[in-house]
Amino acid sequence: MDPLSLLAGTLIAQWDPGAPERNPFSMDASSGEFLQGSQPIEELTLVRTIYRGDCPGESVTAMKGIRFLASTPPAAKQRIVIRNRRTGGFTNREYGKGRRSSESFSISLGTRQHGSFLSVRPGENEFRWKVTGASEEGSPAEGSAVLMVKTEDRERYRDFRSINEDAFCPGEQYSNSRTPLSQCRAGYYKVTREGVCPNGKTIQLGTRTIYRRYRSW
């Protein structure tokens, strides 16, 4: 038997004429989908910036304007709670009359638990959703959804925005009435330095003792 006849015989054997035809674009009874704009998405890429230099760290740019559409249509004064089973984070959004989907929210890496942010982790994230106040009979009030999250890493150097110095006599760093440096009884004073990062974070750079006969750092 030639290969094409063999393949056709296999397909005929697997076909069940009694099985209902399935529309691959239809939403399952208790499923839901995330929307970006008006388009359903199954995958989302978040940009993660890794900082080097004076101010190391990382930050993730949240994806804004995400919406959710459940198999229960928006109606009346409904709300929808979408919870990430991996992070425990959730968002509670309006899902009422006049809407085509939920109120918008943002998605980002992390552990935000509520509000307009929904936390995710890289990889597959499984969600449970629940509509409160569902008014349409026969529609499921809860269900599930899946979203694959990827990260795109970028590196940047982040230097200090400024460096602060504070000079004081020994024991007077936190005093409201400091002795003039030229009159320090111990014959020396101390100088602390801290770097200020662009995001406002400060990094301590240490303390140095300066004897009055020396003036350079």
The pTM of the full predicted model, rounded to 2 decimals, is 0.69
For residue 43, what pLDDT is reported? 97
Q: Report the distance separating Cα 180 and Cα 168, nearest Å.
A: 8
- How do residues 155-198 score in pLDDT, each as one tens digit? 999 999 999 999 999 999 999 999 999 899 889 999 999 999 99
Amino acid at 99: R
Instruction: For residue 93, give every residue at least 6 positions away whose Cβ sits within 8 Å of its Cβ, in sequence order, or none.
Output: 68, 79, 80, 82, 102, 103, 104, 105, 116
Q: Report the distance separating Cα 44 and Cα 42, nearest Å.
A: 7
